């Protein structure tokens, strides 16, 4: 991404017919860069203030653009870091309210700080965010894990500015406008991004009937679900996700109720696996979004949020009772693709990276930091028959996802 920005700028400069001032410009620019490099090397303790662009040496901005926020480790702080909101935020879905539900380590979750290996991840400052993104619309599009991230952002911002209008912009499931800032944040609920519905064999027969299919789900890989179809035209910043539902045999049982993929209104023949259907749907939806947005729309795709069921899958007594983050080798044991229970996260990411490559989407990679956090799920306090080792406690991990989201956003927009 850094490379793309550089190329664009370089070609814009190179476009006018050659002139001696160009050479002078290059010389001057190199000189300034050198000065900046020397300056930043000589005074490492000087941290530029956010909106102080003149004193922000280019070398440092370059660092930020190439910094990989997803590569790092969790550092325990000596004391709980004050959260930017608490468990009384009304937007927290009740099963995710670990402090309210007295999860044993509910408060300890806030003691862990994500430290990228080669840079610092700034904490999202709610007031600064409200100012910076006033007069804009931000849409989260995806499954309940994106709602989890949405709720975290809403809670952070509401703690800084309580005057909101609750409504459903552009077909959203829920949304808020921060009235003093004319900033709207919405969540568009969609499991697969694409449209799907029950399918059963017709008496008239057909290609799927001929192959023996009696019932299942029709999944239209080229039709966006209505809940978000209007979102690309409405929002200035979009954050997408999908993943878990493609590997959810409780709903899309490969035998009892398989996913049957359709394109252009016709069944794909021979029928394809969910893994292939997933890639096809992604390709179509990326195109759909790119056709309806301009280069000014910031588009993010969030990588897969991992689950931490140990000792069995969610419906087979799997649990997540850890009270500390995992160690790196434990992560490998739990997520190695040989181990079926939690294997899908990395499979999903492989497809995501492949399909998103070369598109205008930025990838928000939260998988690694989340794989380590087996301690941060609601577990037995999720209020379900089984343990919830899929969603995240709030306040909690998705606050850090939002830190990474906003840091990436600002790196690309420039401070
Ligand atoms: C960033 O770090 C993550 C986690 O270590 C890694 O999977 C990914 O490949 C890295 N990305 C780049 C562009 O180096
Ligand atoms: C509020 O923001 C929208 C863009 O999201 C803009 O079109 C509108 O003019 C703004 N309203 C005011 C009163 O500034
Ligand atoms: C798979 O994960 C479980 C925890 O859910 C662990 O007990 C087991 O050792 C792992 N198996 C392999 C082959 O890594």
Task: Report d(CA 129, CA 196) in Å as an integer.
Answer: 36
Average pLDDT over residues 244-251: 88
Strand pairing partners for 186? 139, 175
* CA 166 – ligand 2 centroid, Å: 17
Count, in order, helices (H) and strands (E) of the chain.
13, 13
The residue contributing the CA closest to ligand 1 atom 3 is 71
pLDDT > 90? residue 55: no
pLDDT > 80? residue 324: yes
C-beta atoms surrounding 30 within 10 Å: 10
Task: Report d(CA 76, CA 103) in Å as an integer.
Answer: 19
Task: Report d(CA 205, CA 202) in Å as an integer.
Answer: 5
Q: How confident is the model at residue 8 (pLDDT cuts 50, 70, 90)?
A: very low
Helices 2-14 and 58-66, packing angle to 10 deg: 130
- 68 CB less than 6 Å from ligand 1? yes
Task: Report d(CA 199, CA 345) in Å as an integer.
Answer: 28
**Lowest pLDDT segment from 39-48, 334-343, 359-368:** 39-48
Task: Report d(CA 44, CA 415) in Å as an integer.
Answer: 20
The residue contributing the CA closest to ligand 3 atom 12 is 339
Average pLDDT over residues 151-161: 98
Sign of the dihedral defined by the CA atoms of residues 139, 143, 144, 145, in that order:
negative
Q: How confident is the model at residue 362 (pLDDT cuts 50, 70, 90)?
A: very high
Q: What is the 3-state secondary structure (H, E, C) of 306-346?
A: CCCCECCCCCCCCECCCCCCCCHHHHHHHHCCCCHHHCHHH
- Average pLDDT score over the chain: 87
In this predicted model, which residue has the larger pLDDT, 289 or 78?
Answer: 289
Beta strands in 77-122 (DSSP E): 112-116
In this predicted model, which residue has the larger pLDDT, 376 or 77?
Answer: 376
Domain ranges of the chain: 23-66, 72-413
Distance from CA of residue 107 to its chain's centroid?
A: 24
**Ligand 2 pocket by C-beta < 6 Å: which residues?**
135-137, 182
Q: Which CATH architecture has domain 72-413?
A: 3-Layer(aba) Sandwich (3.40)
SS3 content of the chain, % helix, strand, coil (to 5): 40, 15, 45
Q: Tell me the whole-structure pTM to 2 decimals.
A: 0.84
Residue closest to 217 by CA, chosen among 159, 171, 258: 258
- C-alpha dihedral over 308, 102, 77, 390, to 10 degrees? 20
Q: How confident is the model at residue 60 (pLDDT cuts 50, 70, 90)?
A: very low
The residue contributing the CA closest to ligand 3 atom 4 is 310
pLDDT tens per residue across span 107-116 = 999 999 999 9
- 333 CB less than 6 Å from ligand 1? no
- 310 CB less than 6 Å from ligand 3? yes
**CA angle, 326 as apex, 325 and 329 as ends, to 5°?**
155
Answer yes or no: are the C-beta atoms of 406 and 124 closer than 8 Å.
Answer: yes
* CA 182 – ligand 2 centroid, Å: 6
pLDDT value at position 307?
95
Ligand that comes closest to the CA of residue 114: 1
* CA 304 – ligand 1 centroid, Å: 14
Task: Report d(CA 137, CA 236) in Å as an integer.
Answer: 5
Task: Report d(CA 259, CA 274) in Å as an integer.
Answer: 7
| CA distances to 22, 24, 268 from 18, in Å | 7, 11, 54
Q: Which atom of ligand 3 is nearest to the CA of 340?
A: 1
Average pLDDT over residues 180-209: 97
- 70 CB less than 6 Å from ligand 1? yes
* CA 315 – ligand 3 centroid, Å: 16
Task: Report d(CA 83, CA 324) in Å as an integer.
Answer: 18
Task: Report d(CA 276, CA 152) in Å as an integer.
Answer: 32
| CA distances to 145, 258, 377, 389 from 100, in Å | 20, 39, 14, 18
Average pLDDT over residues 34-52: 39
38's CB contacts (< 8 A; 6+ apart) are: none
* CA 319 – ligand 3 centroid, Å: 13
- 341 CB less than 6 Å from ligand 3? yes
Q: Which two tokens stand for residue 325?
A: 């983050």
**Lowest pLDDT segment from 39-48, 69-78, 225-234:** 39-48
Average pLDDT over residues 50-71: 54
CA-based R_g, the chain, Å: 23
The residue whose CB lies within 8 Å of the most ligand 3 atoms, and thus the one to mutate among 312, 333, 340, is 333
Instruction: Give 336: exposed, middle or buried? Use CB within 10 Å, 0-12, 13-18, 19+.
Output: exposed
Residue closest to 392 by CA, chosen among 407, 382, 403, 406: 382
Q: Which atom of ligand 3 is nearest to the CA of 333?
A: 14
Q: Which two tokens stand for residue 331?
A: 């992560």
* CA 320 – ligand 3 centroid, Å: 13
> If you search the block for the tokens 């809670």, which residue do you land on?
155
- What is the C-alpha end-to-end distance of the chain, expressed in Å? 16
Q: Which atom of ligand 2 is nearest to the CA of 236?
A: 5
pLDDT > 60? residue 238: yes
Q: Which two tokens stand for residue 314?
A: 């969610």
Task: Report d(CA 351, CA 356) in Å as an integer.
Answer: 8
pLDDT value at position 29?
55
Ligand that comes closest to the CA of residue 184: 2
The residue contributing the CA closest to ligand 2 atom 7 is 135
Q: Which atom of ligand 2 is nearest to the CA of 135?
A: 2
Task: Report d(CA 290, CA 224) in Å as an integer.
Answer: 13
Q: Which atom of ligand 3 is nearest to the CA of 318?
A: 5
């Amino acid at each position: 991404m850094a490379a793309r920005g550089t190329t664009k700028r370089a070609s814009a400069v190179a476009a006018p017919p050659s002139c001696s001032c160009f050479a002078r410009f290059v010389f001057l620019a190199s000189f300034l860069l050198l000065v900046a490099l020397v300056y930043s090397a000589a005074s490492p303790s000087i941290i530029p203030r956010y909106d102080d662009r003149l004193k922000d040496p280019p070398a440092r901005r370059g660092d930020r653009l190439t910094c990989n926020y997803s590569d790092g480790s969790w550092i325990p702080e000596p004391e709980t870091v004050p959260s930017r909101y608490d468990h009384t935020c009304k937007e927290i879905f009740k099963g995710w309210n670990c402090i309210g539900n007295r999860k044993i380590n509910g408060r300890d979750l806030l003691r862990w700080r994500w430290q990228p290996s080669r840079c610092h991840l700034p904490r999202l400052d709610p007031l600064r965010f409200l100012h910076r993104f006033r007069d804009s619309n931000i849409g989260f599009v995806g499954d309940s894990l994106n709602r989890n991230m949405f709720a975290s952002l809403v809670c952070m911002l509401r703690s800084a500015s309580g005057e909101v209008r609750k409504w459903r912009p552009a077909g959203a499931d829920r949304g808020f406008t921060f009235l003093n800032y004319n900033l709207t944040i919405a969540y568009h609920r969609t499991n697969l991004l694409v449209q799907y519905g029950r399918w059963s064999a017709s008496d008239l027969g057909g290609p799927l009937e001929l192959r023996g299919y009696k019932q299942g789900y029709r999944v239209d890989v080229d039709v966006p679900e209505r809940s978000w179809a209007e979102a690309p035209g409405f929002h200035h910043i979009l954050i997408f996700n999908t993943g878990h539902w493609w590997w959810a045999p409780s709903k899309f049982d490969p035998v009892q109720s398989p996913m049957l993929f359709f394109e252009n209104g016709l069944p794909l023949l021979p029928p394809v696996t969910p893994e292939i259907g997933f890639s096809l749907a992604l390709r179509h939806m990326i195109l759909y979004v790119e056709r309806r947005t301009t280069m000014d729309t910031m588009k993010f795709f969030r990588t897969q949020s991992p689950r931490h069921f140990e000792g069995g899958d969610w419906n087979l007594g799997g649990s997540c009772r850890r009270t500390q983050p995992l160690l790196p080798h434990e992560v490998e044991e739990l997520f190695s693709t040989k181990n079926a229970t939690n294997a899908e996260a990395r499979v999903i990411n492989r497809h995501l990276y492949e399909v998103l490559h070369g598109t205008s989407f930025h990838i928000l990679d939260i998988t690694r930091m989340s794989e380590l956090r087996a301690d941060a799920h609601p577990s037995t306090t999720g209020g379900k028959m089984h343990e919830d080792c899929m969603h995240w406690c709030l306040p909690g991990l998705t606050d850090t996802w939002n830190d990474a989201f906003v840091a990436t956003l600002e790196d690309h927009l420039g401070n």
